Structure 1
């Protein structure tokens, strides 16, 4: 039987990205002793509904980790919503202990009105998909949840869409959406939230 000091971490990317967008964060976390995993959602451009991308997260977890292994999940932008679908609708609530979203459109983004692709439609404010997830968002209180966001985000509009009203909320003055994954303050906070003891 092997024991690890910390849960393995799965990083889930956003639209038009791959797991490589987390290269700096993954390196930073691995240097500090964490086991870090990434996956490539496909297609990553909004053509697929977020439900199906959530299933890809579920499949990756089922194929990569032992069934009893608790996990920590970090989702960036759309990846935070995809991760929520896995947690709230596909049983992830039973094994995810720490969940961090970074600049995720929990209440939608008006930027999504620029596309008619199915995944983008689901990220519009008041979409049926988001309304459904937000109808029982209280279940996220069962885990250690953190939302990190910046008021200067030009992809998540309004930026306050990253607020869920539960868990811990951390606002940082980062000037651009993609810089949220390389900002030194964000990296330090992600590490802290992934390694702090769980509250009983």
Structure 2
């Protein structure tokens, strides 16, 4: 569903550029080469503007940072440029054409290996996990499943229902009693809500990446019921914390986050009092999945769960 939305958005954007190009050509006499260059530049640099705005908002609402997490002006520019590149890849390739961005899920096999289920976030799809799936499988990790959750703007509870179905299907097909959940952004909230609703019996470990566990200031701009549920002090988040209690889920939980996240702010909202919290400084919300350090941390977490990781 999200792929269709993104393709339609890109189509409308193309129509807008063509209309502007027509006006510039016939009224101002612009040639075809300058028009093409201008349209491409507009498509590319509009994403830089978006990243710059979200980074500015994230900075304005930042949480206190430890001294060794400071990256300075040069590091901030590098972070924005990396995030911009990742947004371009997602917007023009991974999201609209996920079938090209990541291989199809493997056929479930009863080979004794613990299944890993990737859970994407808000207005996203499985294509986003392409680089991370490739990095894991290059080290012999698997089987890795990356399902699509089709209700783009539904409640997080609707995502929970879909996640429950995927976990049931995968555990039955593989003969394994549980899975490891690796979740990005809102996917971490869906996984926590799943455990509250169904228990942790089928979850060996929960690993969240850049998840707004206590809400984000940016959710006020988000569309859909799930966007509103990610607002700071939302009823959904308050109820989720109440159900989890002071000790949290029975399974192990690791929250990996960036102290400079541009879409999850204040950034310490990703920290959970009963989880292992690991910071990766200098990474944006999208680009964090391209971090070599993230891949290293994730492989270490998986190895601790008994997953075979090739050196």
Same fold (TM over 0.5): yes
- Over residues 77-100 of structure 1, what are the superposed CA-to-partner deviations in whole Å (9 max), with x where a residue is unaligned? 011111111112133x11101110
Map of 1:57 onto structure 2: 163
Within a 5 Å distance, the mapping from 1:28-67 to structure 2 comes to 28-34=135-141, 35-44=143-152, 47-66=153-172
Map of 2:257 onto structure 1: 149
**RMSD of the alignment, in Å?**
1.8
**Is 1:9 the counterpart of 2:127 in the alignment?**
no
What TM-score comes out, normalization by structure 2 length? 0.59
**Is 1:112 the counterpart of 2:219 in the alignment?**
yes
**Is 1:95 the counterpart of 2:202 in the alignment?**
yes
Decide which structure has greater helix share.
2
Decide which structure has greater strand share.
1
Q: Distance in 2 between matches of 1:131 and 1:148?
A: 21
**Is 1:161 the counterpart of 2:277 in the alignment?**
no
Cα shift at 1:43: 2.2
Q: Which runs of 4+ in 1 moved over 4 A?
A: none
Q: Distance in 2 between matches of 1:30 and 1:69?
A: 22
Cα shift at 1:141: 4.7
> Residue 139 and residue 94 in structure 1: after superposition, are their counterparts in 2 closer, same or farther (change >3 A)?
farther
Provide structure 1 residue ranges, at least 5 long, that are not aligned to the other structure: none
Q: Distance in 2 between matches of 1:11 and 1:174?
A: 23
Q: Distance in 1 between matches of 2:250 and 2:195?
A: 11
Q: Distance in 2 between matches of 1:163 and 1:84?
A: 13
Cα shift at 1:3: 4.6
The answer (yes or no) to whether the contact 2:210–2:270 under 8 Å persists in 1 is yes
**Is 1:133 the counterpart of 2:249 in the alignment?**
no
The answer (yes or no) to whether the contact 1:108–1:126 under 8 Å persists in 2 is yes
Return the index of the structure with the highest Cα Rg. Answer: 2
Deviates most, 177-186 or 141-150: 141-150
Deviates most, 71-80 or 33-42: 33-42
**Is 1:24 the counterpart of 2:131 in the alignment?**
yes
